[in-house]
Chains A and B, each alone.
Chain A
Amino acid sequence: MAKQYEFSSKGLPYLLVLPQMVIVFLFFFWPSAQAIWQSFFLQDPFGGKVIFVGFENYTKLFTDPDYWASFRVSTSFAISVAFSSMTIALFIAVQANKKIKYDSFYKTMMIWPYAVATMVAGVLWLFMFNPNVGIIAWILKYKLGVEWSHLLKSDQAFLLLTLAASWKQISYNFVFFLAGLQSVPLPLVEAAAIDGAGPVKRFWTIIFPLLSPTSFYLLVMNLVYGFFETFPIVHQVTAGGPGKATQILVYKVRRDGVINLDLGSSSAQSVILMFMVISLTIFQFRFIERRVTY
């Protein structure tokens, strides 16, 4: 990209970045440094007693089968959310991209859930599937003979979380897929149609490959969402249960820190999470975001 014209001034640019930098340091770097620092200590919650333990908080986590189980659940949860919300969104986007009547109405109807808070999505779905008062749970049980009890059946709890998390994420994916589909050059598709390729074949051989940058970007974003942003859903819907079956990493980190008041372990878990985000971000930029030129 061409270099922009540059003004010359000694003090002004510092003044301009100052607000941003103050906030970055006060609210990002300083707290994060504290989290790293605390991960080397055992602490009573009131800060009265502090014992330096080196890497013990980390070694404890890595030798704890529960932590690995939590890691596995988080991974499979993120993957199933990414997979289901992306495929559904793609399928819907392909339909909405056809030149049909009312298409703008359809698009609006697909996009609005983006505005729903993750926490609210959790409340909505829990309310329908609550084994005691939920309407769907009731229909499943008394009309369809399916015993719904996500309080005891871990596969059902997992399924419910996936539903709630994907429901909210579809609109995000939809927006990107639709934008991607709209930038597919029409002549290319029409040429293929003239050559006798059916709609399904056209999709897989022409459109889908053109969508791959979008898909790849969305994959990363959806994994990040499934991994890090779904805390409120788990918090509202299953509280990590039954047993520890849906205790994802972000849930555990807050639970251990805020409810169980184990600051050392919670900080260590935060630091591990931080490394995971950093590697995901680097991964993403290495592969798709080459525009960062500095």
Chain B
Amino acid sequence: MTEHKKSARLFPHIVLWFAIIIILFPLYFVFVASTRTSADILSAPMPMYPGPHLIRNYGQALLEGTKNLGASAFTMMKNSFIMAMGISSGKIIVSLLAAFAIVFFNFPGRKFCFWAIFITLMLPVEVRIMPTYKVISDLGMLNSYAGLILPMIVSATAVFLFRQFFLSVPREITEASQIDGATSMQFFRSILVPMTRTPVAAMFVIQFIYGWNQYLWPLLITTKVEYYTLLIGINRMLSGADVQIEWQIVMATTLLALIPPVLVVVIMQKQFVAGMTDTEK
């Protein structure tokens, strides 16, 4: 660009490396802890380089979990994955349909629907979590994937994003499909949805991470170990009564909980960045 001095060229690299180190720092120690024994960790200071128990700890975490958790990281990962996929795809489908109705139809109650969805932006989870539990249990959905997923799949953000996108679809395309004699649902399926690929991909990344990282809700409704997600597992491992925390296993599980969403972000970085800046701005 405009500067040519060597120091000026180096400066951004130094800053960025510094930032990267700070950002990776906590992760390094988690990794070190996950390769050591509980006694190593408790006799502070823990050595600052990895120990020899990597395979044993991760093996235990993946296949067994801590002694009485009764859920292996493998099972919990499966649950986290089902929950994240369910929430993200559920949100996308429900929102696509709603946005389609709101943009392409004029019906009494349209404004009402729009505002009803809009207002959900303003109801923090804390406000509704206890009564929601009652609703789910009345529906007989405690301990089911449906119970984990359904209350989380309303997304005003997704409806807005799709609505905005639909509004920008050239009117001519819609009219042309009308002239060809396509019904509204045919138009939706074969023209509109394929056009919406990019925003859908973006939404998917954001909502997958949102779903994977759900904490308060599964904390309340998972009463059987078969439905524990990774974050709940970590919480449970940290909170047993009168027992020593098996830090090395907790740390291994923490890393395992981190990897999938990080991979999704890294792999789908482009869609993710585009999605974030489109939806929320």
Which of B53-61, B67-75, B262-270 touches A? B262-270
Residues in A whose Cβ lies below 8 Å from that of B33: 127
Residues in A whose Cβ lies below 8 Å from that of B168: 1
> A128, A214, A271: which contacts B26 (Cβ < 8 A)?
A128
User: With A and B bound together, what is the CA distance between A195 and B257 in angstroms?
Assistant: 52
Point out residues on A near B: beta carbons under 8 Å.
Answer: 1-2, 4-10, 12-14, 16-17, 19-21, 23-32, 34-35, 88, 91-92, 95-96, 98-102, 106-120, 123-125, 127-128, 132-135, 138-139, 142, 167, 170, 172, 175-176, 178-179, 190, 193, 199, 213-214, 217, 221, 228, 231-232, 236, 250, 253-254, 257, 263, 270-271, 273-274, 277-278, 281, 291-292, 294
- The answer to whether residues A217 and B216 also contact, given A27-B135, A253-B126, A281-B122 and a CB cut-off of 8 A, is no
Q: Is B12 part of the contact surface with A, judged by Cβ < 8 Å?
A: yes
Residues in B whose Cβ lies below 8 Å from that of A127: 26, 29-30, 33, 247, 251
The 10 closest A-B pairs by CB, nearest first: A31-B131, A31-B128, A16-B101, A117-B213, A115-B261, A13-B105, A95-B12, A5-B174, A34-B131, A124-B26
Interface centre among A27, A102, A231 (most CB of B within 10 A): A27
A27 → chain B closest CB, angstroms: 4
Closest residue of chain B to A179, judged by CB?
A: B277
Determine whether the beta carbon of A91 is less than 8 Å from that of B26. Answer: no
Q: Is B273 part of the contact surface with A, judged by Cβ < 8 Å?
A: yes
Residues in B whose Cβ lies below 8 Å from that of A26: 135, 151
Determine whether the beta carbon of A28 is less than 8 Å from that of B120. Answer: yes
Determine whether the beta carbon of B15 is less than 8 Å from that of A294. Answer: no
How many Cβ-Cβ contacts under 8 Å join chain A to chain B?
276
Q: Is B9 part of the contact surface with A, judged by Cβ < 8 Å?
A: yes
Residues in A whose Cβ lies below 8 Å from that of B231: 117, 119-120
Given contacts A32-B123, A123-B254, 15 further A-B contacts (CB under 8 A): A4-B169, A4-B174, A8-B106, A12-B101, A12-B105, A24-B117, A25-B116, A32-B128, A34-B134, A101-B13, A116-B213, A119-B235, A138-B44, A277-B122, A294-B115
Determine whether the beta carbon of A274 is less than 8 Å from that of B262. Answer: no
C-beta contact mask, B74-94 vs A, less than 8 Å → 1, else 0? 000000000000000000001
Closest residue of chain B to A23, judged by CB?
A: B154
Determine whether the beta carbon of A278 is less than 8 Å from that of B105. Answer: no
- The answer to whether residues A5 and B281 also contact, given A110-B23, A133-B44 and a CB cut-off of 8 A, is no
Determine whether the beta carbon of B150 is less than 8 Å from that of A27. Answer: yes
Residues in A whose Cβ lies below 8 Å from that of B15: 91-92, 95
Determine whether the beta carbon of B127 is less than 8 Å from that of A167. Answer: no
Closest residue of chain B to A89, judged by CB?
A: B19
Determine whether the beta carbon of B257 is less than 8 Å from that of A2. Answer: no
Q: Is B180 part of the contact surface with A, judged by Cβ < 8 Å?
A: no
A10 → chain B closest CB, angstroms: 8
- The answer to whether residues A294 and B9 also contact, given A28-B128, A115-B265 and a CB cut-off of 8 A, is no
> B121, B153, B276: which contacts A281 (Cβ < 8 A)?
B121
Determine whether the beta carbon of A5 is less than 8 Å from that of B209. Answer: no
Q: Is B48 part of the contact surface with A, judged by Cβ < 8 Å?
A: yes
Closest residue of chain A to B234, judged by CB?
A: A123
Point out residues on B near A: beta carbons under 8 Å.
Answer: 1-3, 8-9, 11-13, 15-16, 19-20, 22-27, 29-30, 33, 41-42, 44-46, 48, 94-95, 97-98, 100-107, 109-111, 113-124, 126-132, 134-135, 150-151, 153-154, 159, 164, 166-169, 171, 174-175, 178, 184-185, 187, 209, 212-213, 215-216, 231, 234-235, 238, 247, 250-251, 254, 257-258, 261-262, 264-266, 269, 272-273, 276-277, 280-281
Q: B interface, by DSSP: helix, strand, loop or mixed?
A: helix
Determine whether the beta carbon of A16 is less than 8 Å from that of B12. Answer: no
- The answer to whether residues A9 and B213 also contact, given A176-B277, A277-B124 and a CB cut-off of 8 A, is no
B162 → chain A closest CB, angstroms: 11
User: With A and B bound together, what is the CA distance between A2 and B127 in angstroms?
Assistant: 38
Closest residue of chain A to B232, judged by CB?
A: A119
User: With A and B bound together, what is the CA distance between A217 and B280 in angstroms?
Assistant: 9
Residues in A whose Cβ lies below 8 Å from that of B117: 20, 24
Determine whether the beta carbon of B175 is less than 8 Å from that of A5. Answer: yes
User: With A and B bound together, what is the CA distance between A77 and B127 in angstroms?
Assistant: 21
Determine whether the beta carbon of B266 is less than 8 Å from that of A112. Answer: yes
User: With A and B bound together, what is the CA distance between A176 and B118 in angstroms?
Assistant: 23
Residues in B whose Cβ lies below 8 Å from that of A114: 209, 265
Interface centre among B29, B48, B154, B174 (most CB of A within 10 A): B154
- The answer to whether residues A135 and B104 also contact, given A20-B94, A28-B120 and a CB cut-off of 8 A, is no
A288 → chain B closest CB, angstroms: 9
Determine whether the beta carbon of A98 is less than 8 Å from that of B12. Answer: yes
> A116, A176, A199, A270: which contacts B127 (Cβ < 8 A)?
A270
Residues in B whose Cβ lies below 8 Å from that of A27: 128, 132, 135, 150-151, 154
- The answer to whether residues A9 and B262 also contact, given A16-B100, A124-B26, A277-B123 and a CB cut-off of 8 A, is no
A40 → chain B closest CB, angstroms: 15
